[in-house]
Structure 1
Amino acid sequence: MKRKLINTVVALALFPLATHAFAAEMSTKQAVEALHLNELALTYSQDKIAQATDNKSSSATDALMIDMGVITVQDLSNAASVSSKLSLFVADQMDQSERYIGNVSDKNIVERVIKTWNDSTVIQDKATLAQLNSFIDNGYTTGYNVIDTNDDSKFNPELMLRYGHNDIQHAAQLLYLMKTEGFDPKVQFTPKSSAFLYLPEWGEPNYSVVTLESGKMVSVVKEYNLDFEFQTPERKAAFMDLINQYAKKDSADEKGLIIESWWQPFYRSYTEMADYKVLTENRVIIGDYQADLMSLPENAEKQEKQVRAAAKDMDVIPVKVWVNPSFYRYMHGDFK
């Protein structure tokens, strides 16, 4: 949130205000000028203003911001509410660093997600895979996820959650579920390669497995991250209740869940969250690739040192993350 507000201040400094000096509160006129929408506002007739605002004495800029869905008619009687909504909207419009494919409310959001999934493959860089697999071979980790950093959402961490899964129909149902439950965050869909130690007692694998020098077997499969940037911290916090009710398995024959719900869903925040548990995400940077190695905090420093020693040409960045309780239990060996 702080980053967004800073961007707003910068934006206002860059766009001269015709009749208003910069103030702590943002008006619709200031927002329109900052967004270069003056000419559009001037197309509003008195009748169109009255139709949008229910008040002919309101301004064209008020009407435009209402028609754009930034504020409501009711907000006009609350300057603080208007200012807050406008500030966030202007900052968001001017933040060009984000990458995302749309909002949950978009009619074709699922279509975009499925197309991205169908067009993606697991990592093909053999040298990078060999280096990462050596971490498993040497016992530094039992698995890793690899993403292309060019796909990073760069969402505001105060409002962002990252949700991981491997079934694309689960993603489709989750997005539709969120829509029906009134959630409308921004969405970035990032395919990823997920590698894990395959144990012989699991039987004959039904997907590709590589046997390492030690005899250990590693499988690399396609999974994905869904990054969500919610409108408010409260909506971000409400996501856990949604998952617990509709996407977390608590019994083998449980009904009323979306497809392929896991015993231990996996989602994380990069800022502290009530009821979440702390883990460490050791990020290994290899060119445009980022490999994420999840670790319990008490093991994270050892893992970081091991990886640094084995891959001196790679950056290793430990990041504190907050994960949902069931995934934290999974990290301790609990299947529920």
Structure 2
Amino acid sequence: MKLKLIRTAIIIALFPLASHAAEMTTEKAVDALNLNELALTYSQEKIVKATGISDAKQADALLIDMGVITAKDLDQKRSLSSKLSAFVIDQNDQSERYIGNVSDTNLVERVVKTWNDSRVIEDNKTLHLLNSFIDNGYTTGYNVIDTQDDSNFNPDLMIRYGHNNIQHAVQLLYLMKSESFNPKVQLTPKSSAFLYLPEWGEPNYPVMTLESGKMVSVVKEYNLDFEFQTAERKKSFMDLINQYAKKDSAEEKGLIFESWWQPFYRSYTEMADYKVLTENRVVMGDYQADLMSLPEKAEKQEEQVRSMADSYDVVPTKVWVNPSFYRYMLGEFK
């Protein structure tokens, strides 16, 4: 809702006299982007070189050179207007944070550096509160992010993908590039805590024992936020994961590194073939803890968390998750 209000404000600010039917032209787009002076540097020769059209405009050529449109778009007024409007709004929306696009040559370098520079949460007061939720049986785990790293992507076009191995992220990004996906990307480091069961044997990562005797492990993981260029590309993400990043048999080949039986990705808008869960968010200053719950258990969990975190905001948020993760929430292995 917050992001939609920001985008609405941008539209009103940029086009105060425009109606919903108003046409966005290349000249209006160049003006809204404050690129008029740059457009005026385009000679007739440069215009023809960019557009292949003798009577094209300076604004046409500039936006083609920027990669916003193609020469073929100039003949399609309705789709041209839609494409230009989307680009202008996106460029003037400064609320987003992201590392780059999948097509960027050095995107992986930036992603790995962000991961290497991050660490698990070290705020003892916050950890004590969150671990008390596990200690009291309100949840079996939580994720914590610093909201200053949040992407603020358009929820209509965003998928949030979670994992714990950075080489998996590297291979996923290169896979997406090879399959012609080119979304915006933000890597948000997160601390993930989960109840560790004694029957699992000796842990190979840090485990702390709570007052009740329950054991909890807090490990470093990440969210990869993707903002796709179209709703259709967002929809096709599930097919990509099912084919290349979801394990269906122990010896399965042709999957990227460390593929899970039950990958975890979610949308904050309704998606066909996805399942509904509730994400109870506990907002503590710049920290946000996410507790996933089945819808029928979410209200009780919210009340329990509020009883122990009455000085913080608890925000129940509806999410749509991939079917295999939903099965995980039901206690299934695959």
For normalisation by structure 1, the TM-score amounts to: 0.96
Alignment check: 8 A CA contact 1:12 1:22 kept = no
Counterpart of 2:30 (choices 29, 32, 35) is 32
Residue 82 of structure 1 deviates from its aligned partner by 1.0
Alignment check: 8 A CA contact 1:4 1:91 kept = no
Residue 9 of structure 1 deviates from its aligned partner by 2.8
2:246 aligned partner: 248
2:60 aligned partner: 62
1:123 aligned partner: 121
Describe how 1:154-303 pairs up with structure 2 within 5 A: 154-303=152-301
Aligned sequence identity (%):
76
Higher mean alpha-carbon deviation, 49-58 vs 246-255, is at 49-58
Counterpart of 1:86 (choices 74, 84, 87) is 84
1:171-195 Cα distance to aligned partner (Å, 9 max, x none): 0000000000000000010000000
Structure 1 counterpart of 2:260, one-letter code: W
Tell me how large the CA RMSD over aligned residues is.
Answer: 1.7
What is the DSSP-based 3-state SS (H/G/I as helix, E as strand, rest coil) of the residue aligned with 2:269? coil
Residue 310 of structure 1 deviates from its aligned partner by 1.3
For normalisation by structure 2, the TM-score amounts to: 0.96
**Alignment partners' CA distance in 1, 2:37 and 2:125:** 55
Residue 11 of structure 1 deviates from its aligned partner by 3.9
1:310-334 Cα distance to aligned partner (Å, 9 max, x none): 1111111000000000000000011
Structure 2 counterpart of 1:10, one-letter code: I
2:41 aligned partner: 43
**Alignment partners' CA distance in 2, 1:11 and 1:35:** 12
**Alignment partners' CA distance in 2, 1:275 and 1:320:** 15
Residue 286 of structure 1 deviates from its aligned partner by 1.0
Counterpart of 2:15 (choices 13, 16, 31) is 13
**Alignment partners' CA distance in 2, 1:208 and 1:257:** 29
Structure 2 counterpart of 1:6, one-letter code: T
Alignment check: 8 A CA contact 1:278 1:297 kept = yes
1:116-144 Cα distance to aligned partner (Å, 9 max, x none): 00000000001110110000000000000
Structure 1 counterpart of 2:327, one-letter code: R
Residue 65 of structure 1 deviates from its aligned partner by 0.7
Residue 12 of structure 1 deviates from its aligned partner by 2.5
What is the DSSP-based 3-state SS (H/G/I as helix, E as strand, rest coil) of the residue aligned with 1:154? coil
2:138 aligned partner: 140
Residue 13 of structure 1 deviates from its aligned partner by 3.4
Gaps of 5+ in 1: none
1:42-99 Cα distance to aligned partner (Å, 9 max, x none): 1100011011111110100000011111110111111111101100000000000001
1:207-248 Cα distance to aligned partner (Å, 9 max, x none): 111100000000000000000000010000000000000000
